[in-house]
Amino acid sequence: MRLATEIQGDTGSQQNQYRRATEAPHPSHETSSDTSSRPDEIAQHLALAAQATNDAVRVWTVATGALAWPQGLESLLGYPDSPTTNEIGFWQKQLHPQDRARAAASIRDALTADSDHWTGEYRFRHRDGSHLDLLERAYIVRDHLGRAVQWVGSLMNITARKQLQDQLVRSQKMEAFGQLAGGVAHDFNNFLTTILGYSDLLIDELGMKGEIASHIHEIRAAAGRASALTGQLLAFSRKHPLAPAIIDVNSLLTNLERSLLRLLGENISVQCDFERGKDGMHTKVDPGQLTQIILNLVVNARDAMSDGGCLALETTAVTIGTAEDHEHECAAEELPAGDYVRISVTDNGSGMTDEVKQHLFEPFFTTKDEGHGTGLGLATSYGLVRQSGGHICVESELGQGTTVRIFLPRVPAPAPPSYKKSGSKKLPTGSETILVLEDDISVRHLSVRVLRSLGYDVLEAANSDDAQQLIGQRVGKDIDLLLTDMVMPQMSGRCFADWMNKTNPGIKVVFISGYLQESLQDDDRYDKETFFLPKPFDPEQLAVKIREALD
């Protein structure tokens, strides 16, 4: 439907009236000798002002449907001037189908009303096929009867602004989902701590054997797999402990393999080629961060193989900095010479153009459809790898697939733990006094039961008020160690530990939590009197951590 048909009237008289109104000199200029105020120079100044905005300008004669483009038709919209661009139907045709009816109705209402101005946003098809987000601000020229004669609109390109707004909304949604995932993982870790703990107690204290013991081991194994899943949720929500640790890359990827298969779907296969050295493939990195990076890369690879394909994971030890090393030029420019663990993620999907590769690690840059990506995954991965002293580089060709290589400093395997459990799983014991402060009743009861079975004198409290009353009843009796959850009602575990240090100087503290977002500050982690035990934990981990802190 042509918008021009909405305006009825005498075309000739309207145009003559408009021409008289615009061509007649302003009274204040009739006798002026100031040449800078001549109509032709005024028009030139207006044209320069319009060009300074870099907007497109369209002039639509309402009654005839004629459309003129004083500027911006080619520079902003990409179309050369032609007879087809000089009709209102051209403008209507280039509107995004989802915006066409809304824009037409809004303009029609403005023309039939007595307003002289109109403002609206819509998507307009560029000549290259993409759609620009435009903000149009128009002035409606009317005759002496108030009928719309001409529409003069200025079209501003607000695509970048709209993209930033959309990305902000998506990132806020992802942040909200991350908070939900972190909260769910926190609660699940309480349940898993109980499942793991009582499974071990059944086997150890009751001496379960045979088929019943086998069933309990299956329950415990399932809880262990669930613990790995909550770890991935915590990595996604970025609430995983940030302290790096020495890990075997091969072991981490092997544990991830089952989750990757579920994530990829049935039409994508996974091929693993891990270098198995006698000393392993160790690096010092945050396990949660590395898990997040691998998941980001796998999701990108899956999206690039919409019709199916093969994902290849490879690890190998490399040395950067030798004179004959030409294979790792991308990393050699960014990294000091030395030994590195290289993780390669390769897909045989759609690949990338050179232009996409140039912007690959920029925040909010994404090639995915709206609602299917935030543009933060690779930017975050790049930051995490660089923070860990490594480098990430990408090789890709359009239609030939993509390979992402991560280089992380290789370190020696960690020394075996000083505590070695015996064949009978005998746990380290003690006789010190321990205060257990935990609001989850199952975790608290489990911890108290395990510690008392190991010989400790244990006090228990569900909140800080109860704990302070207990301490008040023990005047003159010191408490050797505080075992507290970080997230507590009334007073946080961190604040209660600070209060305890004033009343009981030198007390050792072990913090437990399902995630670390709300827990230790940077300087707390290096306090020799402070230890952290992440949930879920089993009786052995609890016993060893308590003894480690007390010793």
| Alpha carbons 527 and 549: distance in angstroms, whole number | 11
CATH of the domain at 501: 3.40.50.2300
261 and 377 in a single domain? The answer is: yes
404 and 452 in a single domain? The answer is: no
Q: What is the mean pLDDT of the chain?
A: 77
* Assigned domain for 326 exists: yes
Instruction: Please write the tens of the pLDDT for every residue from 428-473.
Output: 888 999 999 988 888 888 889 989 988 999 999 888 888 888 888 8
* Assigned domain for 239 exists: no
Q: How many domains does the chain have?
A: 3
Residues 6+ apart with CB under 8 A from 381: 292, 293, 296, 297, 392
The angle formed by the CA atoms of residues 385, 408 and 336, to the nearest 5 degrees, is 100
- Model pLDDT, residue 235: 54
* Assigned domain for 536 exists: yes
- Model pLDDT, residue 524: 41
- Model pLDDT, residue 365: 46
301 and 356 in a single domain? The answer is: yes
277 and 368 in a single domain? The answer is: yes
521 and 412 in a single domain? The answer is: no
What residues are paired with 435 via a beta bridge?
459, 482
470 and 520 in a single domain? The answer is: yes
Domain-terminating residue out of 386, 416, 446? 416
Beta carbons of 275 and 402 less than 8 angstroms apart: no
Eight-class DSSP state of 8: -
Instruction: Identify the residue whose tokens are 């408490």.
Output: 479
| Alpha carbons 498 and 477: distance in angstroms, whole number | 18
CATH of the domain at 101: 3.30.450.20
386 and 493 in a single domain? The answer is: no
451 and 405 in a single domain? The answer is: no
399 and 473 in a single domain? The answer is: no
CATH of the domain at 284: 3.30.565.10
* Assigned domain for 166 exists: no
- Model pLDDT, residue 343: 92
295 and 398 in a single domain? The answer is: yes
- Model pLDDT, residue 477: 80
Q: In what order do the strands lie in the sheet with 401-409?
A: 268-274, 309-320, 338-347, 401-409, 391-397
* Assigned domain for 193 exists: no
The burial of 508, by beta-carbon neighbours within 10 Å (0-12 exposed, 13-18 middle, 19 or more buried), is given as buried
Domain-terminating residue out of 416, 451, 486? 416
266 and 120 in a single domain? The answer is: no
* Assigned domain for 123 exists: yes
438 and 409 in a single domain? The answer is: no
Tokens in use for 86?
Answer: 């000089």
Domain hosting 366: range is 246-416
* Assigned domain for 344 exists: yes
Distances 21 to 14, 36, 361, 406, 424 between C-alpha atoms, Å? 11, 21, 56, 69, 103
Domain-terminating residue out of 416, 441, 472? 416
Pairing relation of β-strands 309-320 and 391-397? unpaired
* Assigned domain for 149 exists: yes
Instruction: Please write the tens of the pLDDT for every residue from 522-536.
Output: 444 445 556 888 888
The residue ranges of the chain whose pLDDT is under 50 are 1-36, 240-241, 363-365, 368-376, 418-424, 516-526
